[in-house]
Amino acid sequence: MNQKKWIHIVSIYSVIYTAITLLNSILYLCRGIYEDPSGNWHELDRAIILLIGIAAFELCANLPVKPLALRYLIAYIPSQLLAFAYVWFSGLREPLAKTAYKDICINFTSLFVLLCIINTVIYVFKKKRGQKGEKK
Q: Measured between alpha carbons, how far is 86 from 128 in angstroms, rounded to an integer?
A: 40
For the stretch 2-19, pLDDT in tens is: 888 889 889 989 999 999
Q: For residue 127, how many other CB atoms are within 10 A of its CB? A: 10
Q: Which pLDDT value is given to residue 136? A: 52
Average pLDDT over residues 64-76: 87
Provide the residue ranges of all domains of the chain, joining segments of one domain with +: 38-135
At residue 83 the predicted structure's pLDDT band, cuts being 50, 70 and 90, is very high
Sequence-distant (≥ 6) Cβ neighbours of residue 107 within 8 angstroms? 49
Could you give the C-alpha distances from 18 to 12, 22, 61, 124, in angstroms and in order?
10, 6, 23, 27
Amino acid identity, residue 124?
V
- Mean of the per-residue pLDDT values for the chain? 86
Question: Element (H or E) spanning 65, and its range?
Answer: none
58 or 83, which is more confident = 83
46, 42, 103, 109: which is closest to 75 by C-alpha? 109
Contacts of 67 (CB under 8 A, 6+ apart): none
Residue 134, pLDDT above cutoff 70 = no
pTM of the predicted model, to two decimals? 0.79
pLDDT grade for 90, boundaries at 50, 70 and 90: very high
State the pLDDT at residue 24: 85
